[in-house]
Structure 1
């Protein structure tokens, strides 16, 4: 299966969010931000200059800026280029050989290029925890909350959120800072994410982070 060409669709707004099952509150001192697979290879399937990719990039950038300001760890996951068949394993049976040897295809998109002090993890499976040191990194930083944004919502984002939950790390999936192959798959991913985590919009999450900081400084 090759990556599809995605047609434009509107980002979900607050009215479209699934009912919450968890009452967790985001706290800057407990949280880290994961930017999942925002590489040219994956983001390139979306129509340039249209929804959802415009909002996707803007909202991920806003989350990243505030995370940096608040001293929250920022982690980028990225599929390595030129993986050997033994590295791809069963993933190759469905998704093919993956990113080729082109460095530009594997690079994080230019507006989100990782900065000094931010973390870049090789992501060899959809789940960013699998075969990486993401869990160890979060524990070393004293973080038990994970804000997840990026692509694709029903694959890497959802699987990563589920694994976080299974490992007692509270996942926060940002509804309008993820994107998918279609509006239907996007909506499905959010409904499932709400069963093991918290789903928020970017503006709500940014507000909650700032309010918590203000209360702590009061």
Structure 2
């Protein structure tokens, strides 16, 4: 009756995204960023150090930083602990008691996305972030009619919020790589539904074209270019030297990373030259820069 442990899956790539029916263009003067249910309770159902969750948090952090720069209001939703039977109502039949008193600490937003003083945190009572909250009223006061959505879980609260936004003449922008779900299948299904019925599916990179944050897809492409094997897949755990990578090209890559403010030296790259390890090093550097 509660949420089961969630098996990690790869974040959907651009080639897997559905075609949108809409041609809406995000406008910082019209938008609100919604960070949906990013509480410890919900993320604890994923595996520790889940690459999916790390990627989602990183992208949400980027979106929040961009929103602050663009003076876009940022709204969080968070379910309370110890809900009464009347407050929780039918949710208990489907998901159990939710966040209990014994797990009160789990109601907090994850540390990497701690709300800033100027942000708004709404108490979340139902799937939709509009139900029993001030979200719609706040958006009217701010004269905003676009809602950028990221968080968990994609096929439940995030999707229902997007649908309700659409029904209130608010354009939802569903950020495919700033969401997580129970499975890749459900994640992709949700993107398909939103793109076809009630919103615009987009990506962090599309919303933030000027940012300089590196992605795993970028790393894979750069390694293939260095190895001159653009059309061949790379085993992420295989030693890249066996593919023909040499010291000169490792030094070249280290120099290129510095241009992106990623300071990983030749020795660190050469100790374990695999795609997975290089991505771990890059991701750690980028995450540390956010703190």
The TM-score with structure 2 as length reference comes to: 0.70
SS in 2 for 1:93: helix
**Which structure: larger Rg?**
2
1:202 pairs, out of 196, 200, 204, with: 204
- Hey, what does 1:169 align to over in structure 2? 170
- Hey, what does 2:93 align to over in structure 1? 93
The offset of 1:49, in angstroms, is 2.0
1:98-117 mapped onto 2 (5 Å cutoff): 98-101=98-101, 102-117=103-118
The C-alpha deviation readout for 1:115-168, integer Å capped at 9, x for no partner, is: 101000000111110011100011111100000000000000000000000000
The offset of 1:44, in angstroms, is 1.2
SS in 2 for 1:46: coil
Q: Which has the higher contact order (CA 8 A, sep 6+)?
A: 1
- Aligned equivalents of 1:44 and 1:58: distance in 2? 17
- Hey, what does 1:149 align to over in structure 2? 150
RMSD, aligned CA: 1.2
Q: Which runs of 5+ in 2 are unaligned?
A: 212-291
Q: Which runs of 5+ in 1 are unaligned?
A: 210-218
Deviates most, 153-162 or 11-20: 11-20
- Aligned equivalents of 1:4 and 1:143: distance in 2? 37
Superposition misfits of 4+ residues, deviation over 3 angstroms: none
The answer on whether the counterparts of 1:13 and 1:201 sit within 8 Å (CA) in structure 2 is no
The offset of 1:206, in angstroms, is 1.4
1:117-196 mapped onto 2 (5 Å cutoff): 117-194=118-195, 195-196=197-198
The offset of 1:208, in angstroms, is 8.2
The TM-score with structure 1 as length reference comes to: 0.93
SS in 2 for 1:34: strand
In terms of fraction of residues, the more helix-rich structure is 2
The answer on whether the counterparts of 1:26 and 1:208 sit within 8 Å (CA) in structure 2 is no
- Aligned equivalents of 1:34 and 1:122: distance in 2? 13
Q: What is the total number of aligned residue pairs between the two structures?
A: 209
In terms of fraction of residues, the more strand-rich structure is 1
- Aligned equivalents of 1:208 and 1:199: distance in 2? 19
- Hey, what does 1:212 align to over in structure 2? none
The C-alpha deviation readout for 1:97-126, integer Å capped at 9, x for no partner, is: 111123311000010111101000000111
- Aligned equivalents of 1:193 and 1:44: distance in 2? 26
The answer on whether the counterparts of 1:152 and 1:179 sit within 8 Å (CA) in structure 2 is yes
- Hey, what does 1:42 align to over in structure 2? 42
- Aligned equivalents of 1:166 and 1:20: distance in 2? 17
The C-alpha deviation readout for 1:177-209, integer Å capped at 9, x for no partner, is: 000011111111111111210001111111289
Deviates most, 197-206 or 161-170: 197-206
SS in 1 for 2:9: coil
